Chains A and B, each alone.
Chain A
Amino acid sequence: MTNALLAAPILVPLAAGALSIVVRRLVVQRIVSFVALGIALAAAVTTLVRAVAPGDIQVTRLGGWPAPIAITLVADRLAAILVVVALVVVTIVLVFAIGQRASDEHSWFYHPTYMVIAAAISQAFLAGDLFNLFVAFEIMLMASYVLLTLEGRDEQIKAGTTYVVLNVLESLVLLTAIGLIFAATGTVSMAELPERLAALPPPVATGLQLLLLVAFGMKAAVFPLFFWLPDAYPAAPSSVTAVFAGLLTKVGVYCIMRTQTLLFPDALGDLVLWIGAATMLVGVIGAISHHDMKRVLSFHIVSQIGYMVFGIGVGGAAALAATALYLVHHIPVKTSLFLVEGIMERDSGSSSFDNVGGLSRRSPMFAVLFMLPALSLAGIPPLSGFVAKFLVVRAGIDGGHFVVAGIAIFVSALTLTSMVKIWVNAFWGEVEPASRTAVRGVLRHHPTMAAATVALVAVTLVIAVFSGPLYDFALDAAREMTNPATYVSAVRGTP
């Protein structure tokens, strides 16, 4: 069974990237990128519809090889919706990057690299075996190294060095884990692994699981492996950081989710739970202590990851559904915050909110654009963040994890504190003399960036409005995850 639609979100952007390397005219590159993302998105939406309406897990065996030999791509509900959300975000951020008129978008290898990272993110969500997942990770990371150090400025090289070394180490840990899993079970296919891993002696299985958790945890930036993230992300241009913040760590979370549900169901749940709690706390404390908006937002990534990891740790259909919804809500919200930050930085020439002030007086619309995702991130009703946080905390309380649920609520308040800090410093107060040249209006001076940000904030509002149906969908997705047998039989092709 070859289902070309499933491969399209990977292959079309890759092909577009290759084309963009050959054709170096910026206009052509832009057209190629948007056409490719459009096709990929259409294919992803079709896959999503198919994964929902007949309720089948979509499987593609590349090259038409039979089940155990072929490279398989698998899209269950969770993977399908994440690919769609990822591609929507990637497309909107590309519009923003063009509007940003930064020197990096004009460099001829920006578009090829951007296409490669889009393809790799899709591949990571769709990978049906561990090694394919590793390759997706590597492609994604390699593209991210290039995007992070694109301009080759001093601070980019510094931040890039830490980022590259840490992620190379993470890759090697992941590869070691895969090698050892292969040594222990003789397979890397996600369809064969659950059965064979369950047959291993418990200490061996736990060791393998821990190795995988370390590798994915580093990528997802959970406590205590988060320290590289707030150093590295702020160095890139805002459009690049937005993609990193929205998507790369979430790929890590997605992989932890797969590990905990498909490969090692119900193992080490408490450990994951407490890692989640520590991640939430440490992240938000870091956010409060910083003065640079990019840094603050980067620490918030860490803190928000904690909620998702908490949900995974609780386990069970309700908690996993909450986590899935959290993932879907968090990707656009976090990205839009970075886009707002990008506009602020372009407008005032600084990302530190010590140097910015009076933005709400200059442009109330811009203030609203920041306010919506910021309050959503803190979990204020009726925004999407409230729904996601409420569901995760409720699942935690239902599971009897009162302390961690309490920490989650406390962290939510701290998140609000830190958002208020940004608000008070950047949006209230005196207009900084440096930006007096454009006293009235922020958005009208940056129409393309503003349009992209408005579109993404609108996406977050849509998620809030449709959170009911989305939760039903997430519950179905969670039921698929808590029942690995359906996944296994779909990948094997046996009914």
Chain B
Amino acid sequence: MSVSIIVLVGVLFAIGTYLIMERSLTRIALGVGVLGNGVNLLIVAAGSAPGDAPIIGRAGETTDPLPQALVLTAIVIGFGLVSFILALAWRSWTITDDDEVEDDLEDRLIARRSDSRAKSGDAPHREDVS
């Protein structure tokens, strides 16, 4: 595994992680793409040294076909994931005019409930009454 590839994997992971932490879904899609390629590169780098095509009956040093097969599958899956996220972003944009990942509504309700209870002292709760 050459050092330059390892460094490249690290850089791709860093960029991908940064992008995934954004609120905008399109950036997250980009992040998933970059991070996914970082992982793919990692798997390729994890294979043995490069060599001849691994075809049965051919002599000499061949390369390990397993990581190639794995990465091929992973690339297809990654492509599907990014497309789905983009579709989500588009749908979100047609509904709300932006593609931000929002806080959860119920969580906000509960946070507000506990806030108001803290302000008004120990007010009886609705469920306790029934």
Contact = CB atoms under 8 A, between A and B. Distances in A.
B92 A161 contact: yes
Nearest to B47: A182
14 contacts: A135-B73, A145-B84, A157-B88, A161-B25, A161-B101, A165-B20, A165-B25, A172-B39, A175-B74, A178-B70, A180-B46, A188-B66, A290-B106, A424-B127
A37 B15 CA distance: 44
A152 interface: yes
Given A158-B102, A425-B130, A164 B88 contact: yes
B130 A168 contact: no
Nearest to A183: B46
A266 interface: no
A29 interface: no
Interface in B59-73: 66-67, 70, 73
B95 A172 contact: no
B77 A165 contact: no
Given A142-B80, A231-B104, A175 B88 contact: no
Contacts of B122: none
A149 B102 CA distance: 16
A291 B127 contact: yes
A283 B91 CA distance: 32
Interface string A160-193: 1110110011011001101110110000100000
Interface residues of A, number: 42
Interface centre among A165, A172, A289, A421 (most CB of B within 10 A): A172
List 3 A-B pairs, minimum CB-CB distance, nearest first: A183-B46, A179-B43, A231-B104
Interface of A: 131, 135, 138, 142, 145-146, 149, 152, 154-155, 157-162, 164-165, 168-169, 171-172, 175-176, 178-180, 182-183, 188, 231, 234, 289-292, 295, 354, 421, 424-425, 429
Contact of A165 (B28, B80, B96): B28
A315 to B, nearest CB: 30
A125 B68 CA distance: 25
Nearest to B109: A291
Contacts of B35: 172
B30 interface: no
Interface in B75-100: 77, 80-81, 84-85, 88, 91-92, 95-96
Contacts of A159: 104
B70 A168 contact: no
B115 interface: no
Nearest to A132: B73
Contacts of B36: 172, 175
B61 to A, nearest CB: 16
A482 B5 CA distance: 40
A135 B69 CA distance: 12
Contacts of A172: 32, 35-36, 39
Contacts of A424: 127, 130
Contacts of A162: 101, 104
A182 B68 CA distance: 12
Interface residues of B, number: 38
Given A169-B20, A425-B130, A142 B84 contact: yes
A24 to B, nearest CB: 20
Contacts of A295: 106
Given A168-B32, A179-B42, A290 B110 contact: yes
B126 interface: yes
B53 interface: no
A160 B91 CA distance: 11
A175 B39 contact: yes
Contacts, number: 96
A363 to B, nearest CB: 20
Given A168-B81, A231-B107, 14 more contacts: A149-B88, A158-B104, A158-B105, A161-B25, A162-B104, A164-B84, A164-B85, A171-B81, A175-B39, A175-B43, A178-B43, A231-B106, A289-B110, A424-B130
A159 B104 CA distance: 8
A429 B129 CA distance: 11
Contacts of A164: 84-85, 88
A149 B106 CA distance: 18
Given A157-B95, A161-B25, A169-B20, A182 B127 contact: no
Interface string B15-45: 0000010000100100010011001001101
B1 interface: yes
B43 A182 contact: yes
Given A165-B101, A183-B46, A292 B39 contact: no
A231 B74 CA distance: 28
A168 B91 contact: no
Given A135-B77, A162-B101, A425 B127 contact: yes
A152 B73 contact: no
Interface centre among A161, A162, A169, A424 (most CB of B within 10 A): A161
Nearest to A160: B88
Contacts of A138: 77, 81
A50 to B, nearest CB: 30
Contacts of B107: 231
Nearest to B13: A176
Contact of B67 (A165, A168, A182): A182
Contacts of B39: 172, 175-176, 179
A152 B91 contact: yes
Nearest to B92: A157
A154 B46 contact: no
Nearest to B110: A289
B57 to A, nearest CB: 15
Contacts of B105: 155, 158
Contact of A183 (B1, B77, B130): B1
